[in-house]
Amino acid sequence: MPGDGHPAGAARVGWGGLNGVTRPPVKVPDVTSPRRGPGRTIDDMDTEARPITERRDSPVPSSSLPPSIAALSRRGFLGGAALAGGGLLAAGIAACVPAAGAPTWTFGPQPSPASGQAQPAASAPTASLFAPTSSHDHASTAPSGSGAPSGHDAAALAVVKRFLDGEYGKVQGAGNQPFEPRLDGGVKVFDFTVDKIKHQIDAVQPAVDALGFNGTWPGPRVEVTEGDTVRAIFKNNLDESTGIHFHGQRLPNKMDGVPHITQDPILPGDSFTYEFVAKSTGSHMYHSHHNATDQVGRGLLGAFIVKPKDAAVRYEALYGVTQDIVWISNDTLGGFTINGRGFPATAPIVAKLGDKIVIRFMNEGIMNHPWHLHGMPMHVVARDGWPLGPAAFYCDTLGVNPGERWDVVIDCDEPGAWAFHCHILPHAEGQDGMYGMVTALVVKDAAAAAIETSSGVTPLVAAASAAGSTAYTCRIPGAG
């Protein structure tokens, strides 16, 4: 695409020749299955992976399935579901569960350079410190016939320990921070810069060459009130042109931010001012609308929230919400991310028992992401900023398509550390354990608070331990 604003040879994310320009390899996750070799059968895989007594009958005769589907539907799906779906934190930490055999397929990026090794940063507290009720020696309760510990177990445990240790708090440059406007008469003015940035997906991987608003990905969280006049000034510090769209807002056409349709591109060094009255309440976004696959994929995105003028219909009043959480997903540069971070650097949500919280899912990626919460249902109350009213519903898995925003209210009524992840499994877990779109909802009761205070462990470890789970105390059977 000529005139896309990229100088020749500029380092940036590639899109596989989409626009005919040679670029470095794109960091799109690899969803091939290199270890799922041709000609293997379910029986082969079962025999090598599990003792006969643990096999299950296939619901579909393997002979009727193509080898690749058969492999996934049997060993792959069952194994993956056990690990990424049912066997995450609250169920005892996936890494603690002796694998029935190493998964015989692999998906996705390999984010952990220390696969199969202990992470150097992990400094494990002693098991007795927060093991209030029971032994956490899984070796004594493990299913029989599990065999030798797998490389997956060790890698999965190592990455979970990074999460439990609070890696989310050790990575600099968090995005999505509140943005206080300056006032010009009655106008709320937001001064943005559009910049090249170095961005950390987690604490281990090298920083990626990303883009950011005001230096972060996501950009700052903009929150205004219905009826406010908003003036957003964007200074383009890139060496390519751009344009910014306020996604979901009812706007004057010339403020719609689509270069070559409603405005000229914002050239390098130039600024553009968007001014409008915030009319559309609820959860919205702002993002690049120019060379957008590339620019949004590299981080030019942020949350734009319009609170209803009538305080009686805000979430605090309607549902007693005490935490308002923005959750922007992306799936290009750096793999699968939540607010610009991949597991184990994703931030857990920490709530007190009885809290009501709202999560605003926003999908700025190019794929659907079905968000699945363990332990508690999600009350889905709004789509794209529009209250669902009597059509509000409950679910535990909510598909969020690109461009969509869904608001859910969660009644945090189950103590513990509950896995919260995208349920497209290759977006969440692979051969080296969990990665990408995984975090946890931590619900602290009084016992968890006491453990956290007395031992100094993270809320994750305290809540899991208080709930009788094995966070941080689990062992890999046979590994000593």
Point out which span in 12-20, 239-247, 297-305, 364-372 binds Cu ion (CB under 5 A): 364-372
User: Could you tell me the smallest distance in angstroms from the CB atom of residue 276 to Cu ion?
Assistant: 32
User: Could you tell me the smallest distance in angstroms from the CB atom of residue 425 to Cu ion?
Assistant: 9
Neighbours of 218 (CB within 10 A): 27
422 binds Cu ion (CB under 5 A): yes
Point out which span in 39-47, 231-239, 284-292, 363-371 binds Cu ion (CB under 5 A): 363-371
Which listed residue (152, 162, 199, 369) binds Cu ion by CB under 5 A? 369
Point out which span in 41-49, 54-62, 114-122, 424-432 binds Cu ion (CB under 5 A): 424-432
User: Could you tell me the smallest distance in angstroms from the CB atom of residue 303 to Cu ion?
Assistant: 19
301 binds Cu ion (CB under 5 A): no
Residue with Cβ nearer Cu ion (177 or 401)? 401
Q: Write out the binding residues for Cu ion, residues 204-263 only, by CB under 5 A.
A: none
- Interface with Cu ion (CB under 5 A), residue total 4
Residue with Cβ nearer Cu ion (31 or 124)? 31
User: Could you tell me the smallest distance in angstroms from the CB atom of residue 401 to Cu ion?
Assistant: 11
421 binds Cu ion (CB under 5 A): no
Residue with Cβ nearer Cu ion (224 or 422)? 422
User: Could you tell me the smallest distance in angstroms from the CB atom of residue 346 to Cu ion?
Assistant: 13
Residue with Cβ nearer Cu ion (157 or 328)? 328
Residue with Cβ nearer Cu ion (70 or 422)? 422
Point out which span in 68-76, 219-227, 298-306, 369-377 binds Cu ion (CB under 5 A): 369-377
Query: How far is Cα 253 from Cα 90, in angstroms, rounded to an integer?
Result: 49
Q: Are strands 405-411 and 356-363 parallel, antiparallel or unpaired?
A: antiparallel
Binding letters toward Cu ion, positions 427-446, x by CB under 5 A: x-------------------
Are the C-beta atoms of residues 344 and 167 closer than 8 Å to each other? yes
User: Could you tell me the smallest distance in angstroms from the CB atom of residue 28 to Cu ion?
Assistant: 13
372 binds Cu ion (CB under 5 A): no
User: Could you tell me the smallest distance in angstroms from the CB atom of residue 159 to Cu ion?
Assistant: 18
CA angle centred on 209, ends 207 and 215, rounded to 5°: 90
Cis peptide before 218 (omega within 30 of 0): yes
User: Could you tell me the smallest distance in angstroms from the CB atom of residue 422 to Cu ion?
Assistant: 3
424 binds Cu ion (CB under 5 A): yes
Are the C-beta atoms of residues 165 and 121 closer than 8 Å to each other? yes
Site residues (vs Cu ion, CB under 5 A) = 369, 422, 424, 427
